[in-house]
Amino acid sequence: MAPQPAPDSTVGRRMLLTALSGMVGGFLAVLADVAQKDDASAVLNIASGIAKLNIKCQPFAIAIVLVLLAGAICLILDAANTKAAFYIGASILTLIMTLVPVRRSPSIESALPALRPVLQDRLIRPALFWQEAAPAVRARRPTSAGTGLVNLTLTAKDKGSIGQFTVEIRNPDTGATTARSTYATPNNVELRIPPGRVELRISVSGYKLARQTLTITPGQTQEVAVDLEPSIMPLGLQKLLDGYVKRSPTRVSSK
């Protein structure tokens, strides 16, 4: 007697369970990628790459697409059971994330015009190099006439020690990171930033992200004070959910 074909409802339920199992595996792969790698995360790097094309893209949206992709791949490969689908979803997404290159943004200092003295046509003896070249170097340093100064001060509400902190200069419209630097203690730094509208994002391990949009005016000094609030959420997950989690408050004053 020939076997009876499975009812459509049974086939549909099997496909749904297969897709869901693959999506669970993909979700765990995305979670591990973001939580452990932070700025080296494939999800954050994909979102950053799209943002540099002047397309606003939330990292959370990239994560959802990858999780859905995991489920779709399991259906395409016709996983034998839900256990196989789980491993396929996790394994393929892990492979994709391993192959995504890490995009490093230039440091905040290197984003400014290069500081190079203009040498005269004659030879300068090494001992007299600084004496003769210093005026040219000073003339080419970024001054308040061409950049704005931001005095950034961090204070931990729990009185904890701030080992180091990372400052990103981002495009407030697309979220693309244009420059990024990491600083050690003390928890205060002066940033010279070209004029325009920018967003500062400050991240410190063990604390909530801080974000502040500024309009940089040449010659103007702005004081930005950040009151860091403790957080048990890894920085990578905070950046993934940047628009949906509470951030450390900031205060801005101008001179």
In this prediction, residue 94 carries a pLDDT of 85
Least confident window among 27-31, 70-74, 138-142, 247-251 = 138-142
Model confidence at 35: pLDDT above 90: no
Q: Rounded mean pLDDT of 32-61?
A: 88
pLDDT digits (tens, 9 = 90+) for 75-108: 999 888 999 999 999 998 888 888 888 877 888 8
The span from the CA of 124 to the CA of 248, in Å, is 52
Of 99, 107, 92, nearest to 46 by C-alpha is: 99
Which residues partner with 151 through β-bridges?
190, 223
165 close to 154: Cβ distance less than 8 angstroms? yes
What is the model's pTM?
0.76
In this prediction, residue 5 carries a pLDDT of 56
Model confidence at 150: pLDDT above 90: yes
* Crossing angle between the packed helical segments 59-76 and 8-37, to the nearest 10 degrees: 140
The span from the CA of 150 to the CA of 221, in Å, is 6
Element holding 86 (H helix, E strand): helix 82-99
Straight-line distance from the first to the last Cα atom of the chain, in angstroms, rounded to the nearest whole number: 90
36 close to 81: Cβ distance less than 8 angstroms? no
Which residue bears the tokens 């801005």? 252
Model confidence at 226: pLDDT above 80: yes
